[in-house]
Amino acid sequence: MGLFDRFKKKQPETMLDKVQEQAGALIINGFRRLAAANGTAPTAKTSDLKIIEIYKQVGSAFRKASKERNEHLPAGYLNTIVFKFFQVYEIMGDTMFYEHLKYEVARYIKEGLRDDYKQDLKLF
């Protein structure tokens, strides 16, 4: 390894790495396009990395809860939920984002999915 090799951008090593990298770009671009069209978050305040982090955290939490309820949440519903959580993150910050996520997941487990989450939001 050359002296400056470690500073080069790491290239995807496997087909899975390549797919995940492309999927991440589609997710980021999809949410940014929707936000720009609606005048909402995620704005420039939210980094691309944070968009992916929120997407994974919210999606995983609601998928796990849906299994607990023995239900299936369509991808479009999960996209709607994630989109709403970008607003929470930008308005209230990290701490309230996590508290609100815990609250909403517990509410979903107990009462079912909120009606305003039942929208089929297409990213691409």
DSSP 48-116: HHHHHHHHHHHHHHHHHHHHHTT----HHHHHHHHHHHHHHHHHHHHHHHHHHHHHHHHHHHHH---GG
pLDDT at 39 over 50: yes
pLDDT at 6 over 80: no
Percent of the chain with pLDDT strictly greater than 70: 85
Q: What is the mean pLDDT of residues 36-44?
A: 96
Give tens-digit pLDDT for 46-84. 999 999 999 999 999 999 999 999 999 999 999 999 999
The pLDDT of residue 123 is 86
- Measured distance CA(90)–CA(37) in Å, rounded: 17
Most confident of 2-6, 7-11, 21-25, 66-70: 66-70
Contact at 8 Å (CB) between 41 and 86?
yes
pLDDT at 23 over 90: no
* Segment (H or E) for 33: helix 15-38
pLDDT at 17 over 80: no
Which two tokens mark 91? 């308005």
